[in-house]
Structure 1
């Protein structure tokens, strides 16, 4: 892939990427020189144009999280914000709160899809609380709404979201000690997760 700074266009072979539809189309780019970029670098450049469609990325994990799970979740939320990506989570404590804290710190507006009937039940870092009043059934909405799900630790609730994500043909990624499920890629770092997310958005991997 090539990034063209003068026109702020990302190209691949004879195609240009449309950040509004997240799709590639044949387009004449012009004679200006481009520079090669990785999927992650391309995503950062596109984010800077403020034209990238913000299809949510889901962060899922336990309310009763370990310190390490929270550290990873906060770093993940921060990097999503830095890459111009919208974050969606369950809006409660533990991994969800840590991810929201990181996302907000990076300038993002984390969305919390709450199982509760009132928005006040959201953790203090949720910028956009959505009270569903449907309890654990909201897990299906999170799995359906997100382009990618990132599991950080977790128990039965996280397991259900991961399984639903696979059922809905979403990319499901696992960090730390998230449940093991066939079809879920287990990755070792936030950077690896970001490259996979970028690849899915850009349909490069």
Structure 2
């Protein structure tokens, strides 16, 4: 399983990063590949949680410079596509966990919902009931993601 973890970058709150770290850890322990946007904040925290627990991490970077990636990636893929890389991230995943909210996160959630990729949200912005599934914790997000519901 390839699981995306999306959320705010530099503006991520400490609590969002803590939840993302836990999501990454739990996904790695379940054998999932963790896919992020490869930068700071929620992306780095989820990557770190997976990386430190033996998981495989993939970062789909918005820029063309691999050196911009966070240090917790197994694979860094520079795209040079800016925010358009969000579609690549979504389409490369079987499901997403969104931690917190930002405009980039909202675009990833929307793309996932439009293309049938399940989304589980921890905090962040509220969406239509037909969209992402709000959950209370990292544990619930990963449990439901792995169970396919």
TM, length-normalised to structure 1? 0.69
**Correspondence for 2:5:** 59
Moved over 6 A (4+): none
Higher relative contact order (CA 8 A, sep 6+): 2
Please point out which of 106, 115, 131 is paired with 1:168.
Answer: 115
Q: Which residue of 1 aligns with 2:136?
A: 188
Aligned pair 1:145/2:105, yes or no?
Answer: no
Unaligned residue ranges in structure 2 (runs of 5+): none
Cα distance in 2 between the residues matched to 1:189 and 1:158: 18
Tell me the alpha carbon deviations over residues 149-177 of structure 1, each in whole angstroms, 9 at most, x when there is no partner: 1100021110000000001101011002x
Equivalent residue number for residue 79 of structure 1 = 26
Contact 2:120 2:145 in 1 (8 A): no
Q: Equivalent residue of 2:17, what SS?
A: helix
SS of aligned partner of 2:55: coil
1:131 to 59, 64, 78: 78
Distance 1:195 1:78 in 2: 13
Structure with larger Rg: 1
Contact 2:39 2:68 in 1 (8 A): yes
Query: Which position in structure 1 is the counterpart of 2:105?
Result: 158
Q: How do 1:5-154 and structure 2 match up within 5 A?
A: 55-63=1-9, 64-154=11-101
CA distances 1:59-110 after superposition (whole Å, capped 9, x unpaired):
0000111110000000110110000000000000000000111000110121
Mapped to 1, the partners of 2:74 and 2:99 lie a distance apart of 21
Partners of 2:60 and 2:52 in 1: CA distance: 19
**Alpha-carbon separation, structure 2, partners of 1:85 and 1:109:** 8
Aligned residue-pair number: 146
1:197 aligns to 2:145 (yes or no) = yes
Distance 2:114 2:91 in 1: 9
CA drift at 1:195: 1.8
Which one has a larger percent helix, Structure 1 or Structure 2? Answer: 2
- Give me the CA root mean square deviation: 0.9
